[in-house]
Amino acid sequence: MIKYFVSIFVCLSFLQCTPTNGKSVTPTGLTIELLRAPEQAVITDSEPEFGWIFPQRMVSQTAYKILVSTSYDLLEEGKTDLWDSGKITNDKSINISYSGKKLQLNSEYWWRVKVWGVNEFESDYSKPQQFNTGNFNRPENEWNGQSNWVKLPDGSWVAENRQMATFTEIEPAIFKKLNKTSWFADFEKAAFATFEFSATSEKEKTKIEIFLGERKNEDFTVHKNPGVSNIGFYRVEIELKKGTHSYQVEIPRHDAKYPNSQKLAPFNPEVLPFRYAELNAENGTVVNWVKQLALFYYFDDKASHFKSTNNNLNKVWDLCKYTLKATPFLGVYCDGNRERMPYEADAYIQQLGHYSVDREFSAAQYTTAFLLSHASWPTEWQMHSVMMAHEHYMYTGDIEFIEMVYEDLQRKTLIGLSREDGLISTRTGKLTPGFLKSIHLNVGTLQDIVDWPKGTPAGEKQANNAGATPEGERDGFVFTDYNTVVNSFHFYSLKCMEDIAGALGKTEDKLFYKKQSEKVRESILKNMFDTKRGIFIDGIDTDHASLHANMIPLAFNIVPEKHIKSVAAFIKTRGMACSVYGAQYLLEALYNAGEAEYALELMTSENKRSWMNMIEVGSTMTTEAWDEYYKPNLTWNHAWGAAPANIIPRRLLGIQPLEPGFKTFIINPQPAGLANIKLEIPTIRGSIHCNLKATDNKWEMEISVPGNSEALIFLPSELSKIVVNESEVIPESRINNLGISKNTFSLKSGFYKISAKK
C-alpha cells in the first residue's frame, strides 16, 4: 500500500444534503458477507456482516437502522421478528455484524436498511434482500474458508459463502452455410462453454461432425492443429435422430492431474474454451441454429467502463476486462484451462483486476483462503498470499477474514527462512519438511522462480514449457543463495503484515513487522545494490543485473529516492524482457518512477511482446505468454496476463484505497499525454467516475465520489489555478510525490467539475 502524508486537506462539497427533486432516496447495492446476491448462496456465519451503498446525494452517513425478518411480509417496523436495530448513530455502511435473535441453520431470511445523512435527512428503506443460512459448525471441513456445494429445498445448487457461475445462451455473431453439408459459427468471443444446436435429418442415425475451437483458419473453418499448445480445440461426432431435434454436446470431464486442480461443480455439464464452431454433416441434413452455452461467474458488465483517445489502450482494456469475466467459471481463480489450478501470483493479478472491473469480492476471498491451505511450489508465490489478504482488507475493510487466517499469513512471509540481517533463502538448509508443512506445501519443495517460463540453454531443444532463448522470460537472471527478487517480495509481505497486525490491534506484532521490514530493506540495499552503477544486482555473489532485480524493488518502494532515476533508466533499456506476469511489476515500477509515458508505450505496443499481439493472433482473453514462440504449450485464457485491467485505474488514473474499504481513496492521475480519459470503476461503497482532459497547460476533470466516502486529489503543482464547481480553490497542502510536486485537496461525496491550469 502506498501511503501519502498530507498536513491539510481542503474539503469541498457542492451537493445538497437533502434531495431537491422530490425523488425518494434509498440505500442500494446491499451485501451480506460481501455477497451481492446472497439468495444465490448459503452463509455459514451465524452473525453475518451487512453492507450497503450509501446514497451519494446524502453525502455522509450519521446513522442507520436495519430490519431482519423470517419472511418478506414481516419486514416492516413493528412486525420484524428477528432484529430491529433501532436508529444507531454510526457512520459505518459496510461490515456491520448481525445482532438480533439467533439465526437458525438452513433457513431463509430477509433484511432491509434505512440511513440518515447530514442535517438528519432520513432515507426510505432499501429494497428487501433475501439471504440463506447453511451449517454454522462444519467439522467436516478440511481447511479454513472451505466452500462446499449445497442443494437448496427447491432443487437448485449454490455454494457456501461465494457466488457461483451460471450458463448464458449466446447467439453467434456470424452463422453461415459454407456448402451443402458444412456450417460455421463465430460467437465473437471465446468462453468456457458447451455447445447446443438444432438439426433436421432425413433419416435416423445420420452422423454430424463438430469442431469447437478458440482459433480459426482463413477459410472459415476451425483450426484443427493446436500442436503442443493448449489453445482450445475439441472434436466430437454425434448421431442425429430423424426429424428436427436440439442437441447439446457432451464434453468429457476435464482431467488435470495437478496437485490442486479444481473440478467443475458436479451438477454442471463440462465446458471448454471455444469461440468457433464448425459442423459437417451428411447430405440431407440441415443445421437450423447453434448456441454457445457460456459458463460465467456472477458478473455485472455495467460496473466498469474505460475509454481513452488511444484506441490500442481501449482494446487492451476490453481484452482484460472480458478475461476477468470469463475465467473465474470455477468459482476460484485458476491458471487457465490446462491445469485449472490456483497459483498465488496468478490469483493476485486476477484479484486486482477483478476488483477493478466488478464489485465482486467472494471469489478473491475464497481463492486466498484456498491458497493459504494449498500452497504451490514457487518461493515468491507464498508471499503473494499475504499480498492477496492485504488487498482484500484494503478493498473491503473486512477484519473477520484476516483475523481468521492471521497465523497462516505470518508463516507465508517466509520469515522462518531468514538470517540475522533479515534476508531469506531457500538454499541454506532451513527448508525442512516441518517448515514446508507449516506453509501447507504438501507436494514437492519451494523453488525460487523470478519469472516463468525459464529459458532453453544454448544447444538444447526447446521444451514445451520453456522459452526459446537462454534468458527465457527472466532476462538472464542469475540465481544465488540470497536472491534480490525473493527478498523484495519478503520485504513487501512484511509491510503488508504491519498493516494487517495494526488492523487487528496487535500492537506488538505491528511494531515487529515494521522493524523487520526496515531491516530487510537495509540489507537489500547493502548487499544487492551496486552504488557505482546505481542499479540492483540479481543477488549476493553475482554482478549480473536483470530487469527483474530492478523492477521488483522499484515496484515495492525499496529504491531510495536519489536512485529512482538510475534504476528507471536501466529498466527502460531492457524493454519488455519479462513475462505477462512480470509485466504487472514492470508497470507498477514505471508508475512509481513517474515513467508513465513509457508505461503507456508498453501497454499499447504492437510488437510480439504485447497485449495487442494477443489480439492480433486471435485470442479474446489474455494469453499465458506473449506468444507461442515464448511458451509453446500456452493457453489463450490465462488471467495472469490481464495486468492493464488494474494498472489503468490504479496507476494511470491513480485510484487506490487510502483507508480500508474505500472510506478515503486517492486519485493521482499520470495521463502521459492521453488527451482524454473516461473511467468508471466499482468499489464496495459505490462507483467512482473520473473523466480527464489533459494538456501540458490545463487539466479538466469530472469526478464522482461515492456516498459516505472521501477522495484525496493529486494535481501537478504547476497547474496552480484550480477551480472546483466554479469556485476557485487554493490548496493548502503541497507534497513531493514520485519526484513530482503535487497539490492536494479532498472532496466529499458528490459530483465535481475541476479545472486546473497554469
Mean pLDDT of 597-618: 98
Residue 539 main-chain phi, psi, to 5 deg: 170, 180
Mean pLDDT of 468-484: 97
C-alpha cell at 310: 488511444
Mean pLDDT of 263-282: 96
Question: Residue 23: what pLDDT?
Answer: 64
Note if the bond before 453 is cis, omega within 30 degrees: yes
C-alpha cell at 715: 494535481
Q: Is 6 part of a structural domain of the chain?
A: no
Same domain, 608 and 547: yes
Asked whether the predicted pLDDT for residue 8 surpasses 50, the reply is no
Looking at 599, 617, 652, the residue that finishes a domain is: 652
Q: Is 32 part of a structural domain of the chain?
A: yes
CA 549: distance to chain centroid? 25
Same domain, 529 and 443: yes
Question: Residue 3: what pLDDT?
Answer: 38
Cell 494538456 belongs to residue = 695
Mean pLDDT of 503-532: 98
Mean pLDDT of 728-739: 82
Q: Which of 145-149, 166-170, 253-257, 555-559 has the lowest mean pLDDT?
A: 253-257
Mean pLDDT of 659-666: 98
Same domain, 443 and 578: yes
Looking at 270, 297, 324, the residue that finishes a domain is: 297
DSSP string of 462-507, one letter each residue = PPTTS-SSTTTTTTTPPP-SSBHHHHHHHHHHHHHHHHHHHHTT-H
Residue 735 main-chain phi, psi, to 5 deg: -130, 165
Mean pLDDT of 411-424: 98
Q: Is 315 part of a structural domain of the chain?
A: yes
Question: Residue 689: what pLDDT?
Answer: 98
Same domain, 157 and 187: no
Q: Which 3-state string (H, E, C) describes 316-365?
A: HHHHHHHHHHHCCCCCCCCCCCCCCCCCHHHHHHHHHHHHHHCCCCHHHH
Burial class (CB in 10 A: 0-12, 13-18, 19+), 233: buried
Same domain, 205 and 112: no
Asked whether the predicted pLDDT for residue 427 surpasses 80, the reply is yes
| Strand (E) or helix (H) holding 526 | helix 507-528
Question: Could you give the CA distance from residue 572 to residue 591 in angstroms, rounded to a whole number?
Answer: 12
Q: Is 4 part of a structural domain of the chain?
A: no
Same domain, 513 and 560: yes
Looking at 652, 669, 688, the residue that finishes a domain is: 652
Mean pLDDT of 603-629: 98
Total tally of structural domains belonging to the chain: 4
Same domain, 407 and 498: yes
Question: Residue 505: what pLDDT?
Answer: 98
Q: Report pTM.
A: 0.96
Same domain, 337 and 436: yes
Asked whether the predicted pLDDT for residue 748 surpasses 90, the reply is yes
Question: Could you give the CA distance from residue 171 to residue 738 in angstroms, rounded to a whole number?
Answer: 49
Same domain, 629 and 593: yes
Mean per-residue pLDDT of the chain:
95
Asked whether the predicted pLDDT for residue 269 surpasses 70, the reply is yes
Mean pLDDT of 499-512: 98
750: nearest Cα among 183, 10, 12, 7: 12
Question: Residue 64: what pLDDT?
Answer: 98
Residue 513, CA distances (Å) to 394, 406, 491, 658 in order? 18, 13, 10, 20
- Give the structural domain span for 581: 309-652
Give the CATH number, domain containing residue 74: 2.60.40.10
Burial class (CB in 10 A: 0-12, 13-18, 19+), 195: buried
pLDDT band for position 355 (50/70/90)? Answer: very high
Task: Count CA atoms within 13 Å of residue 381 on its CB side.
Answer: 26
Question: Residue 142: what pLDDT?
Answer: 86
Question: Could you give the CA distance from residue 269 to residue 267 in angstroms, rounded to a whole number?
Answer: 7
Which residues sit opposite 273 in a β-bridge?
192
Mean pLDDT of 296-305: 98
Give the amino acid at 83.
W
Q: Is 303 part of a structural domain of the chain?
A: no
Q: Is 573 part of a structural domain of the chain?
A: yes
- Given a contact cutoff of 8 angstroms between Cβ atoms, the answer to whether 412 and 388 are in contact is no
Same domain, 586 and 698: no
Mean pLDDT of 128-136: 96
Q: Is 52 part of a structural domain of the chain?
A: yes
Tell me which DSSP letter residue 429 carries: S
Q: Which one is predicted more confidently, 730 or 754? A: 754
Same domain, 206 and 353: no
CA 404: distance to chain centroid? 22
Same domain, 255 and 341: no
Q: Is 2 part of a structural domain of the chain?
A: no
Question: Could you give the CA distance from residue 236 to residue 249 in angstroms, rounded to a whole number?
Answer: 8
Give the CATH number, domain containing residue 291: 2.60.120.260
Give the CATH number, domain containing residue 696: 2.60.420.10
